[in-house]
Amino acid sequence: MINLLTGVLSTALLAGGVLALGALGEVLAERVGVFNLGLEGLFALGGITAIIAVARGASPAVGLLAAVLVGAAFGAVFAGAVVGLRANQTLCGLALTIAGSGLASAVGRPYSGQPARAVFEGVAIPGLSDLPVLGRAVFSQNPLIYVIWIALPLFLHWLLYRTRHGMNLRAVGENPAAADAAGVRVGLLRFGYVVAGAGLAGAAGGTLTLAFVPSWSDGITGGRGWIAVALVIFAGFRPLNAVLGAFLFGLITALGFVGQARNWPVPPAFLSMLPYLGTIACMIIPALFARRTRRRLLAPAALGIPYFRDER
């Protein structure tokens, strides 16, 4: 029983960590008013970039950095279109998903089915790693897990809600005209945080192929980018809530794996689709809650709406 709990918790942290990175990146983009539906493509691009980097001799850390840079580069193209040219955010996001997934599939064909040459290894924390259940599951993980689940969400929460810069950032997503009148550089903030969010989505792809599933195959992202988008809505556009939601999805994924491994009397197809059923629930529950309490969803008021100074 202890081994089962350890395995479920460890898998939940790894599986949920991929979603947490993507969701945190999407929180940044949506908080400045940009709706990025390109996460699925960015996940794929980050995943194959990390695999190629380590295949050519780079360390996992360098491979992850390469995934971040590729994600940021494609995010810059997306940001240039939706922020600079005021293109439709939904269509550009879908185009990014299709182009990114297709490009990753084409580039990754020679690496399909091959295990990653180097992966993130677990590091046992002296003393804590000997604890029952939590020791092996939590305190023997690779260092990336601690950044994803602790350092990054706490930093983003502090940035958004405890700093003047975070106040400006949120103002851009709520009322860009008022923020502009107050001297905030709306276009620059939107561009910068869309790129930063895309970089985190690329890192999510790198984490997927170097830590959770240490290999590359076509379609390896399996809709995780779309789940990350749904998580942001479920989390009320808050970073700490986003990682809690990601952990919940990680648990659902882990239970699906356990059920298939232990031959539970449940159809394998049902176990495989549990995360996607959870995604549907994430879209429905906040809407029902808002309807019952007669409160609107906590989406930024200017989300998806382009802004140029000449329209102020």
d(C-alpha 177, C-alpha 189), whole Å? 13
- What is the reported pLDDT for 178? 94
- H or E element, residue 310: none
Which residue from 60, 47, 9 is spatially nearest to 225, judged by alpha carbons? 47
Q: Tell me, what amino acid is at 274?
A: L
Give the dihedral sign, CA 229/88/299/76. positive
CB-based burial of residue 296 (10 Å sphere; 0-12 exposed, 13-18 middle, 19+ buried)? exposed
d(C-alpha 173, C-alpha 190), whole Å? 9
Quick check: 222 and 49 in contact, CB under 8 A?
Answer: no
- What is the reported pLDDT for 160? 96
d(C-alpha 280, C-alpha 202), whole Å? 24
Quick check: 142 and 120 in contact, CB under 8 A?
Answer: yes
Residue 312: inside a domain: no
Quick check: 145 and 17 in contact, CB under 8 A?
Answer: yes
- For residue 170, CA distances in Å to 33, 271, 291 come to 9, 39, 24
Tokens describing residue 267: 């159809």
d(C-alpha 40, C-alpha 95), whole Å? 11
Q: Please tell me what DSSP assigns to residue 265.
A: S
CATH number at residue 50: 1.10.3470
Alpha helices in the chain (DSSP H): 2-31, 39-55, 60-79, 89-107, 134-138, 143-146, 152-161, 164-174, 176-181, 186-207, 224-234, 239-261, 268-272, 274-293
- What is the reported pLDDT for 163? 96
The 3 state secondary structure assigned to 7-21 is HHHHHHHHHHHHHHH
d(C-alpha 257, C-alpha 262), whole Å? 9
- What is the reported pLDDT for 298? 74
Residue 126: Cβ within 10 Å count = 7
d(C-alpha 146, C-alpha 153), whole Å? 10
- What is the reported pLDDT for 288? 66
Residue 222: inside a domain: yes
Count of domains in the chain?
1
- What is the reported pLDDT for 283? 67
Tokens describing residue 23: 């969701």
Domain that holds residue 294: 2-307
Which phi and psi (to 5°) does residue 115 adopt? -70, 150
Quick check: 51 and 220 in contact, CB under 8 A?
Answer: no
Identify the three-state secondary structure at position 113: coil
Residue 216: inside a domain: yes
Which residue from 154, 128, 156 is spatially nearest to 140, judged by alpha carbons? 128
| Distance, C-alpha 181 to centroid of its chain | 33
- What is the reported pLDDT for 312? 47
Q: Which neighbouring-strand residues pair with 112?
A: 216
Full pLDDT tens readout for the chain, 312 residues? 666 677 788 888 999 999 999 999 999 999 999 999 999 999 999 999 999 999 999 999 999 999 999 999 999 999 999 999 999 999 999 999 999 999 999 999 999 988 999 899 888 888 777 777 777 778 888 889 999 999 999 999 999 999 999 999 999 999 999 999 999 999 999 999 999 999 999 999 999 999 999 999 999 998 999 999 989 988 889 999 999 989 988 888 888 777 766 677 777 777 777 777 777 776 676 666 655 544 455 789 999 999 877 654
pTM: 0.92
